[in-house]
Amino acid sequence: MPDTAPPPKALVEALGASAAEQLLAKFAAYSNLPNAIAGIAKRPSDPSLEQAALRWFDEDFAETAAQMDIRETWALIALAARADVSVLGRVPADTVSNQAQKIASIRRAAAKHAKLLAAADAAPAPVPVDAAAGVPQLPAKVSEVAKWIAAHPDVDAKMFAPYPGQRAAARRSALRALGSIASPEAFDVLGQYATAEYSDADLAELHRAWGRFDRRGFAATMFGPAARGLRLDVCADLEGIGAVDGLLALDVILAKPADLSPLAECRGLERLRVHALEDAGLASIDAIVGLPRLAHLELIGSTRGADLTVLTRTPIEQLYLALDGADGSFLREMTRLAGLKLSGGNETHAGLAGTALDLARNGVTVVLYRHERWVPELVANAPGDVLVEEANGFVRLRPAQNAG
């Protein structure tokens, strides 16, 4: 999400400002719009969020949609459709390319979601095999875990092992319990939950547990299966991530002030996405200078605390960068840069327009946010040797001789 656009009012009222910002950051993390729509289709039911998305559409869509990343906009539309599918008939025409196809996908997903909810309401809850053998009934909700553990201090961690038919709520309760027990036996059981892809709720439980075990061993066990494309979601600390063998791609949202020094061990990293939330920021990105295979970097959100000029010493070819008011002239020195998506921030540096035009002249495809205050003037005064194209709230710059 460009850091010039605050979260919509309806989301802030439903979730709080910080949680709303984190949610939109997750939506913007999808690589493209179709993936964002598909990702929303996989989200568990959240009626309060879905109603908030509907209120946003009904009350603020016209004023806020143009200021938001297109993935955020359509993710909220997809959530709103769960609350009221008729919202899809009120989306303004030509909001995005192939709009009819995207609306059809959302309509199908909303119908499937409604059927799943109906089936879940009708189905009996599966019972773990141990529950029928006279052992204490396990906590059914995360909110019950602390009290349950206090009442059963000598519990066998194996009681929280995964079982066929285990529901999402029971799995999250088990993850919370194992993190609370925090014994070697609990870690052995926790490892049985390791997978290549976690839900946001499960990741939140894993982050809660991470610091209660050896961080390196935890990272290797719980995140190792996802080494080809690890999504950590909202995370406070990356310590221990270097133990993930063969890590190729990492996507993380930083919720607290941090630097990227734990990534220095990740020598095989090829793709990195870091979103530093407003209350977090980055102290340093120096560690990425030592990553010889890093070709794709997304560094967005609150970046003002980091020295961004170190990017000139990296092999990055594709860059998505929030300058957060910094001078972007160093971008001219990134000799391998082929594509750049750029946000200038609230207080854009005076020379940024010239830098963007120079990069485009030199063959770099530059993508800008149309709503940022400095961009309309650049578009209006673009020289003849730079081709300007506008679509879906973005402006693309490229050499005029490469048009066609």
Residue that wins the pLDDT comparison between 302 and 291: 291
44 found inside a domain: yes
pLDDT for residue 194 is more than 60:
yes
32 found inside a domain: yes
Q: How many domains does the chain have?
A: 1
pLDDT score, position 3: 44
Kindly report the CA angle at 72 between 200 and 320, in degrees rounded to 5?
90
Q: Could you tell me which of 200, 195, 238, 162 has the C-alpha nearest to residue 19?
A: 200
Task: Give the residue carrying structure tokens 């709520």.
Answer: 169
- Would you place residue 2 in the very low, low, confident or very high pLDDT band (cuts 50, 70, 90)? very low
Spatial separation of the C-alpha atoms in residues 154 and 171, rounded to whole Å: 20
pLDDT for residue 262 is more than 80:
yes
Average pLDDT over residues 239-268: 93
Whether residue 331 contacts residue 337, with contact meaning beta carbons closer than 8 Å, is answered with yes
pLDDT for residue 283 is more than 90:
no
- Would you place residue 101 in the very low, low, confident or very high pLDDT band (cuts 50, 70, 90)? confident
Beta pairing, strands 394-399 & 386-391: antiparallel
Q: What is the pLDDT of residues 4-38, one digit of tens each?
A: 467 889 988 888 887 888 888 888 888 788 888 99
Helix or strand (DSSP H, E) at 133? none
Spatial separation of the C-alpha atoms in residues 367 and 379, rounded to whole Å: 12
pLDDT for residue 47 is more than 60:
yes
100 found inside a domain: yes
Q: What proportion of the chain, given as a percentage, has pLDDT over 70?
A: 93
- Would you place residue 403 in the very low, low, confident or very high pLDDT band (cuts 50, 70, 90)? low
Spatial separation of the C-alpha atoms in residues 206 and 176, rounded to whole Å: 8
Residue that wins the pLDDT comparison between 353 and 116: 353
1-10, 111-120, 175-184, 273-282 — which one is most confidently predicted on average?
Answer: 175-184
Q: What is the pLDDT of residues 58-72, one digit of tens each?
A: 888 888 887 788 889
Q: What is the pLDDT of residues 321-346, one digit of tens each?
A: 999 888 999 999 999 999 999 998 77
Task: Give the residue carrying structure tokens 């079982």.
Answer: 163
Structure-token pair, residue 292: 């010889």
Beta pairing, strands 386-391 & 365-369: unpaired
Spatial separation of the C-alpha atoms in residues 179 and 75, rounded to whole Å: 32
Q: What residue spans of 129-263 are helical by DSSP H?
A: 145-151, 168-181, 184-190, 200-210, 215-223
Q: Provide Rg for the chain, Cα atoms.
A: 23
Residue 99: domain span: 9-122
284 found inside a domain: no
pLDDT for residue 119 is more than 80:
no
Q: What is the mean pLDDT of the chain?
A: 88
93 found inside a domain: yes
113 found inside a domain: yes
89 found inside a domain: yes
Whether residue 264 contacts residue 290, with contact meaning beta carbons closer than 8 Å, is answered with yes
19 found inside a domain: yes
Average pLDDT over residues 380-397: 90
pLDDT for residue 402 is more than 80:
no
Q: Nearest 5°: phi and psi at 320?
A: -115, 115
SS3 303: coil
Spatial separation of the C-alpha atoms in residues 185 and 28, rounded to whole Å: 38
Under DSSP, the state recorded for 57 is H
CA torsion sign, 372 to 378 to 303 to 254? positive
Residue that wins the pLDDT comparison between 223 and 237: 223
Helix or strand (DSSP H, E) at 77? helix 70-83
